[in-house]
Chains A and B, each alone.
Chain A
Amino acid sequence: MKRSTRFFGLAIALLTIGATAGKGPLPAERAPYMRDLFPSTYRPLPRTDTLIVHATILDGAGHRIDDGELLMRDGKVVAIGHDLAAAGATVIDAHGRWVTPGIIDIHSHDGTYVVPLTTIDDKASDVSELSDPNAAGTWIETAVNPQDPAFARALAGGVTAMQVLPGSDPIFGGRSVILKPIPAPTMQAMKFPGAGQGMKMACGENPKAEDAELKRGPTSRQGEIAYIRDAFAQARHYMHDWDEYLAGKDDDRPRDDPRLDTLAGVLTGAIPVQMHCYRADEMAVMIDLSHDIGFRIAAFHHAVEAYKIAPLLAANHICAAVWSDWWGYKMEALDGIRENAAFVDRAGGCAMMHSDSPVLGQWLNVEAGKAAAAGRRAGLALPPEHVIEWITSNPARALGLADRIGSLVPGHDADLVIWSADPFSVFARADTVFIDGAVAYDRTDRRYQPRSDFELGRGPGSRP
């Protein structure tokens, strides 16, 4: 840490506005790692109060309500049950149809892995910043292209919130962002208001292979661990410097460091770690490491071997974001089994389906259906009202948003889907998707089928 940067950054600003110069912080000054540089400008779409009747409702909180009703008012769920009073509300008859909370995709690259890929993407994709194994200073939201057609496809698949994560080539991938898949001209207009960020970390094959290829960082699993310890040690010093400065004990204003900002944010507990890990042994090492350093792992992502250590994950309150059936495409993915989510769940853990793909991100309901069916074949009782949590309330929990989304209880945001059939069937389609009580997608009404600028003007029928 350089201590000779008094006339840097904010310190200069303070001088120019004539504040007390040089002697400690302004009363309201906060450590830089607590700031949101790109605040949300999201506004809900136009909405009316709506009553859904005659639906099979899975509320995401463990309940199933047959022939149920749900009332949305001012963008919130206000009541769920039977015979609700709903003066003035628009009524939707959902006879034979199902209602669930909106799907939350905990692991998306939409907006950064923008199709069609180009020759530039081959060399320099926005998914991962590759100049350094420590890309903690990057915020993936600054790369999100809201014109990615994948956002509208996810929405049509019933997704109402998604975490866009940086890729897994760096050890510290950077900060994630939580978006609503309501396409808009700017990222900020899609950004989930009041939601925090996560920090992506990666263990195993991807970072070490990338580092070896680029000759720039740790080339082994043990090297990755040492690297992580060193980076957090620096962040501790950085936090200390800021604490001293903000407490008025040291006049030298520390220099803003984007990397250490993020790591410090993690150490304060404000930014949970979203950790890419495949193997059981690697997850166990990361858990111990997190205890020693003092960071919180919200979820292991991919986690194809989570089933081997399901009780350990449950005991540490770490979710597992998994696929239903991907396996084998690399060595650390060799032991993937279809019962993974079910076994994690059975141990009392937090299982989630994730996409990692703009294709799969449209079918997370089917993913959950496949994973649950595998669990049932292995003898586990997995009723739909429980399985729905894998794609709704569990990811809400891992994102720190469980008090707002992921379950249909009074007071929560009215993010929900009316499905044409049992949502775990491949034949089910999202008929209507509500976000904050507003229709964001309607399968039978073209006015509510957003498409990106990229897809305009490409001849008749080019629209999906």
Chain B
Amino acid sequence: MIRALLAALAVLAVPGAAAAQTVAIIHARALPVASAPVDDATIIIDRDHIRSVVAHGTVPAGARVIDASGRIVTPGLIGAATQLGLVEVTSGPLGPAFDVQYAINANSALLPVARADGVTRAMTYPGGAATAPFSGMGAVLRLVPEGDILETPRAAMFVAIGNTSQAGAGGSRAAQWVLLRNALEEARRFAAAPRAVGPRDQLLSRPDVEALGGVIAGRMPLAIQADRESDIRQAIRLAADEKVRVVILGGAEAWHAASDLAAASIPVILDPETDLPQTFDALGARLDNAALLAKAGVTIAFSVSGNGLYLSYDAGIDMREGAGIAVANGLPYADGLKAMTAGPARIWGLANAGTLAPGADADIVIWDGDPLEPASAPVTVFVKGVEAPLGTRQTALRDRYAPGRANDPLPPPYR
């Protein structure tokens, strides 16, 4: 009751909050991703979904009209691997059962920044691997400006192979793979007989084996964080042996196994700025990794940059810069945009996301330039058919300290 009341007050308090309605974006250069670009497009948003994208299309009576002359319009971007909304990213005593959904903070100052850079959805995933090699379960967020941002909890299981979790596996990469395979085996035993008492030699707790149920059933993607070619080939083997849906996260040397990844339909979420041997697992890192993978037919998406420092602080601009760098290094432009939209939607099973196809979710961005240029920015962002305010702490600071205010009589805190 109190919670509902607070939620209602929050709605009233947010300026510019608007209900979804019929919107017509006209004269746009639409990049629908799922189909060819449309010039002078009329994009009709019907409440929370896209009705149509048609060249010179007619505007429905009563629709709000936005003139996007000369502007590129794309689907909202999807951060394929972020830690948005999270502070707590390590799992403590839990392994597979660690679940980030309980820690997500919708008031994180990082979220408006990501949205103002065009991100409307994001996978947020746990880091570390206290119960090696498991990091735990990630969740998909929908960056609505108000209300609950948790869209799909338990959207994927994350494990970390190689340098990241080696310490937790007795310092051994071989042990990591044995632990992972054993965990899947224990999960299968549990699924077959949930009420049976686990054998004495079972390594995982009951919540942990239970959490793996979706993975062994082939519903929940198993995201394996790995860079070294040998680990990527092990992941391909694991997918075949265990009939699980594997996604590679990192994949600095994935280009070495591009054709085998494509044949196994294993997607790769990569950092396109990785061209240094940051670890001994990434000695083969190169800037055309994305181009080589896409050419081989691998579905790709982008994580944020290898600087680590700003993993999710600039989730949007950083991903766009990475996409631009991938394109500068041989990735076709359309594939660069796809890797921020339809690619991650496909990887994480978001059926209506990542395109401007009729019926798709009304997550739409109108840009002031090329979205793959990090110097560009959105001018309008719709999430779930609602125009989102683009103000952030940063724009508030910008306005307070703008050069034109240098001679204000009162100091900045009074502005």
Q: Which residues of A contact B (CB under 8 A)?
A: 115-117, 149-150, 153, 307-308, 310-311, 325-329, 335-339, 343, 346-347, 357-360, 362-363, 366, 369-370, 372-373, 377-380, 424-429, 454-455, 458-459, 461-464
- Which of B273, B282, B324 contacts A116 (CB under 8 A)? B282
CA distance A307 to B279 in the complex (A): 36
| Segment among B27-35, B43-51, B393-401 that sits at the interface with chain A | B393-401
The B372-399 residues at the A interface (CB cut-off 8 A) are 372-377, 393-395, 397-398
Interface of A is mostly: loop
B residues within 8 A CB of A307? 401
B residues within 8 A CB of A369? 373-375
Q: Does B321 contact A (CB under 8 A)?
A: yes
- Which of A310, A326, A459 contacts B310 (CB under 8 A)? A326
Q: Which residues of B contact A (CB under 8 A)?
A: 109-110, 255-256, 273-280, 282-287, 305-307, 309-310, 313-314, 317-318, 321, 324-325, 327-328, 368, 372-377, 393-395, 397-398, 401-404, 406, 412
A residues within 8 A CB of B325? 363, 426
A116 in contact with B278 given A328-B109, A373-B377 (CB within 8 Å): yes
A residues within 8 A CB of B307? 357, 359-360
B residues within 8 A CB of A463? 286
B residues within 8 A CB of A426? 321, 324-325, 327-328, 372-375
- Distance from A94 Cβ to chain B, minimum over Cβ atoms (Å): 18
- Which of B285, B286, B305, B397 contacts A335 (CB under 8 A)? B397
- Which of B109, B255, B327, B403 contacts A346 (CB under 8 A)? B403
The 3 lowest CB-CB distance pairs between A and B, nearest first, are A426-B324, A373-B375, A328-B313
- Distance from B280 Cβ to chain A, minimum over Cβ atoms (Å): 5
Sample of 14 A–B contacts (CB below 8 Å): A116-B277, A326-B314, A327-B313, A328-B110, A337-B397, A358-B276, A366-B324, A369-B375, A370-B317, A370-B375, A429-B328, A458-B283, A461-B286, A462-B284
- Which of A153, A329, A366, A428 contacts B276 (CB under 8 A)? A153
* A327-B394, A464-B287 given; 10 more Cβ-contact pairs under 8 Å: A116-B278, A149-B277, A150-B276, A308-B412, A328-B313, A346-B403, A347-B406, A369-B374, A377-B377, A458-B283
A residues within 8 A CB of B318? 325
- Of the candidates A150, A329, A366, A426, the one having the most CB atoms from chain B within 10 angstroms of its own CB is A426
CA distance A362 to B397 in the complex (A): 29
- Which of A116, A359, A425, A461 contacts B373 (CB under 8 A)? A425
A residues within 8 A CB of B277? 115-116, 149, 454-455
B residues within 8 A CB of A464? 275, 285-287
A462–B412 touching, CB < 8 Å: no
B residues within 8 A CB of A150? 276
- Distance from A457 Cβ to chain B, minimum over Cβ atoms (Å): 11
A residues within 8 A CB of B372? 426-427
A residues within 8 A CB of B305? 359
- Which of B314, B321, B376 contacts A366 (CB under 8 A)? B321
CA distance A329 to B87 in the complex (A): 11
